[in-house]
Structure 1
Amino acid sequence: MTTGTTRGKSLEQWSPTAFLVAGASLVVFAALLGYEALTDISAPEDIFGPPGFFLAMVGLLGIYPALADRVPRLARVSAAGAAVAAVGWLLITVFALIEAAGILPALEEIGAFGGAIILLSGVAMILAYVGTGVASLRTGIHSRYLGLLLLAPPAVFCVMLVQAALFAQFGLFSEARMAWSAVVLSGGQALAHVGIGYLLRNESDPAGRVEPLPDTPV
């Protein structure tokens, strides 16, 4: 067995745990946003959100080996997106911890560099989730529920981005509504990640559990 194969199998085994821990981290993130919305007191939610997305990208990379043989090109694109997003969210996590320590301002306040990292991480994450979800649905390796659930995080993330853009450019929503919307959407993100981890854990042998569709290289 090659080193690459060994690493792939290791990631595959840890994928459910990565998603479950990511979900738990995002639950805390949503709870702290709710605390802020209720009290108007600042909370360190950013030290829980980015690590959750980083772990989720690790979990996505663990799904790659099962898809690589059946939809190689789509799987590679998804894995590349997950890898880029993982590096980005790790950097965002480091900056969030540095900000919490009072050493530097928030990443988005640093300038174009900070905004570029956040944008690239978000776009790469959406690409990784959509690619993995579509690949799972096309191959039938995982249950249809899991394939559809993999499309939930990017959908929620896109809603958050559109809402933030409308608020910033046109002021369509009040600050209070934006705050509570962030709580609800972040809670949905958390539940989606927990659900993905739960389904992956219960699909101990996905390839053998479901009769796959005919191979369709992408």
Structure 2
Amino acid sequence: MVDSTEQLESLERWSHRLFILAGVFLLVAASNRGIAFFLENVAFNDWIGLAGLFGRLAALLGTGGLALQIEKRTVRLGKLNRTIASLAVVFTTGLLTLAILENVGVTTPIIAVFGIGTLVLSFVTFSLFGVSIIRTGAHSTLIGSLLLIVALLLLVVFIGQTVVPEGLIGTVIEGLLFVLYLTIGYRLQVEKVPSRRTESVADATP
């Protein structure tokens, strides 16, 4: 995400908040999609629908904050995680910008490129971080497993749209992501990050 260790540590400290924020955004997105799907006289609100992308962006930033502990164990793997997460953030930001422009009537074919790029890079980011965390023990195995589930859900919603109504599968998946993001955020909040324990011991040593 960023190069300096100080900034990475700052992002790491914000990770749990970013995941919780992502969960809130996904709850809003799921509610908007669900109400529009189940109530015939209520239309899907495109502006509120952007909450899903804001949630994705917050979750990717939160995931990027986990790279520091991975890098302390395996430098190359940590840098790879950071690079992929950075690309995912760039594409998601671009997609969000284009979606906002589309809502005000400015359309461009390139939005499809950013849409596919965001999906692929998000899937790779969550999968790579999940596997890396489980492999290195940088964070709890639970967090790594939940990130893998997030990646799987992205595939499910992409493939499922061809056989299940978009409104229904979108509501279910966004609702599940809401739970997953909140769980990850809460787990990170209560987790004792190794670097902090190390710093505390070092400070106490005369």
TM over 0.5: yes
Q: How far apart in 2 are the matches of 1:201 and 1:137?
A: 18
User: Equivalent residues in 2 for 1:145-184 (5 A)?
Assistant: 145-164=142-161, 167=162, 172-173=163-164, 175=165, 178-184=166-172
Q: Counterpart amino acid of 1:53? A: R
Q: Counterpart amino acid of 2:53? A: P
1:83 aligns with 2:86: yes
Q: CA RMSD in A?
A: 1.8
1:117-166 superposed Cα distances (whole Å, 9 cap, x missing partner)? 111111111111111111111122322211111111110001111123xx
Match of 2:28 in 1: 28
With 70-79 and 147-156 compared, the bigger mean Cα shift is at: 70-79
Among 67, 72, 76, the alignment partner of 2:75 is: 72
Match of 2:12 in 1: 12
Change over 3 Å in CA distance of 1:139–1:145 after alignment to 2: same
With 45-54 and 57-66 compared, the bigger mean Cα shift is at: 45-54
The gaps in structure 2 that reach 5 residues or longer are: 198-206
**In the alignment, is the contact (CA less than 8 A) between 2:98 and 2:111 conserved in 1?**
no
**In the alignment, is the contact (CA less than 8 A) between 2:33 and 2:49 conserved in 1?**
no
Q: How far apart in 2 are the matches of 1:140 and 1:51?
A: 29
What is the TM-score normalised by the length of structure 2? 0.86
Match of 2:201 in 1: none
Match of 2:44, SS? coil
**In the alignment, is the contact (CA less than 8 A) between 2:19 and 2:184 conserved in 1?**
yes
With 42-51 and 61-70 compared, the bigger mean Cα shift is at: 42-51
Among 95, 101, 126, the alignment partner of 2:123 is: 126
Match of 1:57 in 2: 60
Match of 1:137 in 2: 134
Aligned residues: 192
Report the CA distance between 1:207 and its aligned residue. 5.5
Q: How far apart in 2 are the matches of 1:206 and 1:189?
A: 27
Match of 2:202 in 1: none
